[in-house]
Amino acid sequence: MNCGYYLLFCKDQVKDGSPTTNMPCFLITIAGPTFAVYGAIFSDIAVVDPLTTTFHLYWLKNNNEMMTALSSTFRALKLSLKELDKYYENMIQIFPRQHLSFPDVKVNGATYRVQVNSQYDSGHAPIIIYNTEIPGGWLLIYMECLDQHLMLDRITRNLNDGERFALSAEIRRVINNLHNSNFVHGDLREGNILVWKNNVALI
Protein backbone atom coordinates (compact mmCIF):
# COMPACT_ATOMS: atom_id res chain seq x y z
CA MET A 1 0.00 0.00 0.00
CA ASN A 2 2.93 2.32 0.76
CA CYS A 3 4.17 1.88 -2.81
CA GLY A 4 0.67 2.34 -4.18
CA TYR A 5 0.31 5.72 -2.45
CA TYR A 6 3.67 6.81 -3.85
CA LEU A 7 2.69 5.81 -7.39
CA LEU A 8 -0.70 7.50 -7.05
CA PHE A 9 0.96 10.70 -5.83
CA CYS A 10 3.49 10.68 -8.69
CA LYS A 11 0.77 10.43 -11.32
CA ASP A 12 -0.27 14.01 -10.56
CA GLN A 13 3.26 15.43 -10.50
CA VAL A 14 4.89 17.22 -13.42
CA LYS A 15 8.62 16.68 -13.72
CA ASP A 16 10.38 19.80 -14.98
CA GLY A 17 12.81 17.85 -17.17
CA SER A 18 15.77 18.82 -15.02
CA PRO A 19 18.55 16.20 -14.99
CA THR A 20 19.56 17.28 -11.48
CA THR A 21 17.87 14.41 -9.66
CA ASN A 22 15.36 11.60 -9.89
CA MET A 23 14.45 12.18 -6.24
CA PRO A 24 15.50 8.80 -4.81
CA CYS A 25 13.85 7.79 -1.56
CA PHE A 26 13.18 4.85 0.70
CA LEU A 27 9.67 3.58 1.33
CA ILE A 28 9.46 1.77 4.65
CA THR A 29 6.46 -0.47 5.12
CA ILE A 30 5.33 -1.57 8.57
CA ALA A 31 2.14 -3.61 8.49
CA GLY A 32 1.30 -5.25 11.78
CA PRO A 33 4.32 -7.37 12.70
CA THR A 34 5.95 -7.14 9.25
CA PHE A 35 8.66 -4.80 8.00
CA ALA A 36 10.08 -4.17 4.51
CA VAL A 37 12.13 -1.55 2.66
CA TYR A 38 11.53 -0.39 -0.90
CA GLY A 39 13.50 2.01 -3.08
CA ALA A 40 11.79 4.55 -5.32
CA ILE A 41 12.78 7.10 -7.95
CA PHE A 42 10.75 9.54 -10.02
CA SER A 43 11.99 9.31 -13.62
CA ASP A 44 9.75 9.55 -16.68
CA ILE A 45 7.55 7.31 -14.58
CA ALA A 46 7.67 6.38 -10.91
CA VAL A 47 9.77 3.27 -10.31
CA VAL A 48 9.46 1.29 -7.07
CA ASP A 49 11.38 -1.90 -6.29
CA PRO A 50 11.76 -4.00 -3.13
CA LEU A 51 15.19 -3.76 -1.52
CA THR A 52 14.57 -6.35 1.19
CA THR A 53 12.40 -9.33 1.85
CA THR A 54 9.42 -8.86 4.15
CA PHE A 55 10.56 -9.52 7.70
CA HIS A 56 8.36 -10.74 10.52
CA LEU A 57 9.20 -8.87 13.70
CA TYR A 58 8.18 -11.65 16.05
CA TRP A 59 11.16 -12.67 18.13
CA LEU A 60 11.99 -16.31 17.49
CA LYS A 61 14.92 -17.31 19.67
CA ASN A 62 15.82 -20.25 17.44
CA ASN A 63 15.73 -18.31 14.16
CA ASN A 64 19.21 -16.78 14.28
CA GLU A 65 19.37 -16.36 10.51
CA MET A 66 16.28 -14.14 10.45
CA MET A 67 17.45 -12.10 13.45
CA THR A 68 20.86 -11.54 11.87
CA ALA A 69 19.34 -10.52 8.53
CA LEU A 70 16.94 -8.10 10.22
CA SER A 71 19.70 -6.52 12.32
CA SER A 72 21.86 -6.13 9.21
CA THR A 73 18.97 -4.50 7.38
CA PHE A 74 18.44 -1.91 10.13
CA ARG A 75 22.15 -1.12 10.11
CA ALA A 76 22.25 -0.83 6.31
CA LEU A 77 19.16 1.39 6.33
CA LYS A 78 20.72 3.71 8.91
CA LEU A 79 23.89 4.11 6.82
CA SER A 80 21.88 4.52 3.61
CA LEU A 81 19.70 7.27 5.10
CA LYS A 82 22.85 9.18 6.08
CA GLU A 83 24.12 8.89 2.51
CA LEU A 84 20.74 10.01 1.17
CA ASP A 85 20.87 13.07 3.45
CA LYS A 86 24.32 13.94 2.06
CA TYR A 87 23.02 13.48 -1.48
CA TYR A 88 20.21 15.99 -1.00
CA GLU A 89 22.37 18.42 1.00
CA ASN A 90 24.85 18.67 -1.89
CA MET A 91 22.23 18.97 -4.61
CA ILE A 92 22.13 22.17 -6.62
CA GLN A 93 18.92 24.06 -5.86
CA ILE A 94 17.09 25.40 -8.89
CA PHE A 95 15.35 28.73 -8.27
CA PRO A 96 13.06 30.34 -9.10
CA ARG A 97 10.41 27.71 -9.63
CA GLN A 98 9.25 27.22 -13.18
CA HIS A 99 5.72 26.51 -12.00
CA LEU A 100 4.18 28.87 -9.46
CA SER A 101 2.35 27.36 -6.51
CA PHE A 102 -0.45 29.91 -6.80
CA PRO A 103 -1.96 31.54 -9.90
CA ASP A 104 -1.66 35.26 -10.55
CA VAL A 105 -4.69 37.29 -9.51
CA LYS A 106 -5.83 40.52 -11.16
CA VAL A 107 -7.72 43.10 -9.09
CA ASN A 108 -8.75 46.42 -10.66
CA GLY A 109 -6.21 45.94 -13.43
CA ALA A 110 -3.30 45.24 -11.07
CA THR A 111 -1.62 41.81 -11.00
CA TYR A 112 -0.83 40.19 -7.65
CA ARG A 113 1.41 37.17 -7.20
CA VAL A 114 2.06 34.97 -4.15
CA GLN A 115 5.68 33.86 -3.89
CA VAL A 116 8.19 32.56 -1.38
CA ASN A 117 11.60 34.15 -1.76
CA SER A 118 14.50 33.93 0.69
CA GLN A 119 15.77 37.29 -0.57
CA TYR A 120 12.79 39.24 0.71
CA ASP A 121 13.87 41.19 3.80
CA SER A 122 11.24 43.28 5.50
CA GLY A 123 13.08 42.97 8.81
CA HIS A 124 9.93 41.72 10.54
CA ALA A 125 10.06 37.95 9.97
CA PRO A 126 12.33 34.99 10.68
CA ILE A 127 14.77 34.19 7.89
CA ILE A 128 13.40 31.72 5.33
CA ILE A 129 15.95 28.91 5.11
CA TYR A 130 14.26 26.60 2.60
CA ASN A 131 10.87 25.80 1.10
CA THR A 132 9.54 22.75 -0.67
CA GLU A 133 6.23 21.33 -1.85
CA ILE A 134 4.92 18.25 -0.03
CA PRO A 135 2.13 15.78 -0.94
CA GLY A 136 -1.31 17.31 -0.90
CA GLY A 137 -0.22 20.56 -2.53
CA TRP A 138 1.09 22.05 0.73
CA LEU A 139 4.13 24.32 0.84
CA LEU A 140 6.54 23.40 3.66
CA ILE A 141 8.67 26.36 4.76
CA TYR A 142 11.71 26.08 7.03
CA MET A 143 12.33 29.31 8.94
CA GLU A 144 14.85 30.59 11.44
CA CYS A 145 14.13 29.45 15.00
CA LEU A 146 13.44 32.37 17.35
CA ASP A 147 14.04 30.68 20.70
CA GLN A 148 12.97 33.52 22.96
CA HIS A 149 9.85 34.64 21.09
CA LEU A 150 6.37 33.43 22.06
CA MET A 151 3.14 33.43 20.09
CA LEU A 152 0.98 36.44 20.86
CA ASP A 153 -2.02 34.32 21.84
CA ARG A 154 0.05 32.71 24.63
CA ILE A 155 0.94 35.95 26.39
CA THR A 156 -1.98 38.35 25.87
CA ARG A 157 -3.82 37.24 29.02
CA ASN A 158 -0.75 38.06 31.15
CA LEU A 159 -0.27 41.62 29.87
CA ASN A 160 -1.35 44.71 31.79
CA ASP A 161 -3.05 47.62 30.01
CA GLY A 162 0.20 49.52 29.47
CA GLU A 163 1.99 46.51 27.97
CA ARG A 164 -1.04 45.74 25.83
CA PHE A 165 -1.11 49.30 24.45
CA ALA A 166 2.64 49.36 23.74
CA LEU A 167 2.53 45.97 22.02
CA SER A 168 -0.49 46.95 19.96
CA ALA A 169 1.31 50.08 18.78
CA GLU A 170 4.39 48.05 17.81
CA ILE A 171 2.32 45.52 15.86
CA ARG A 172 0.58 48.34 14.01
CA ARG A 173 3.97 49.90 13.22
CA VAL A 174 5.26 46.60 11.79
CA ILE A 175 2.14 46.12 9.67
CA ASN A 176 2.33 49.69 8.37
CA ASN A 177 5.99 49.16 7.45
CA LEU A 178 5.02 46.06 5.48
CA HIS A 179 2.25 47.89 3.64
CA ASN A 180 4.55 50.81 2.85
CA SER A 181 6.98 48.30 1.29
CA ASN A 182 4.17 46.69 -0.74
CA PHE A 183 4.10 43.54 1.42
CA VAL A 184 0.83 41.97 2.58
CA HIS A 185 0.54 39.27 5.26
CA GLY A 186 -2.04 36.73 4.15
CA ASP A 187 -2.94 35.26 7.55
CA LEU A 188 -2.49 37.81 10.33
CA ARG A 189 -3.73 35.95 13.40
CA GLU A 190 -2.38 36.00 16.96
CA GLY A 191 -0.81 32.58 16.39
CA ASN A 192 1.27 34.03 13.54
CA ILE A 193 2.65 36.94 15.57
CA LEU A 194 5.77 36.22 17.63
CA VAL A 195 6.73 38.53 20.49
CA TRP A 196 9.79 38.94 22.69
CA LYS A 197 9.91 42.05 24.87
CA ASN A 198 9.19 44.83 22.34
CA ASN A 199 10.30 42.84 19.30
CA VAL A 200 7.58 41.63 16.93
CA ALA A 201 8.06 39.02 14.20
CA LEU A 202 5.44 37.75 11.76
CA ILE A 203 5.28 34.20 10.42
Q: How high is the mean pLDDT of the chain?
A: 76
172-177, Cβ contacts within 8 angstroms, sequence gap of 24 or more: 174/124, 174/200, 174/202, 177/122, 177/123, 177/124
For residues 72 and 8, the model is more confident at 72
Is the pLDDT at 66 greater than 70, yes or no? yes
Write down the pLDDT at residue 9: 65
pLDDT digits (tens, 9 = 90+) for 78-133: 999 999 988 888 776 554 454 455 566 677 777 666 655 555 556 677 777 777 77
For residues 118 and 25, the model is more confident at 25
| Segments making up each domain of the chain, as ranges | 2-89, 123-202
Write down the pLDDT at residue 75: 93
For residues 178 and 55, the model is more confident at 55
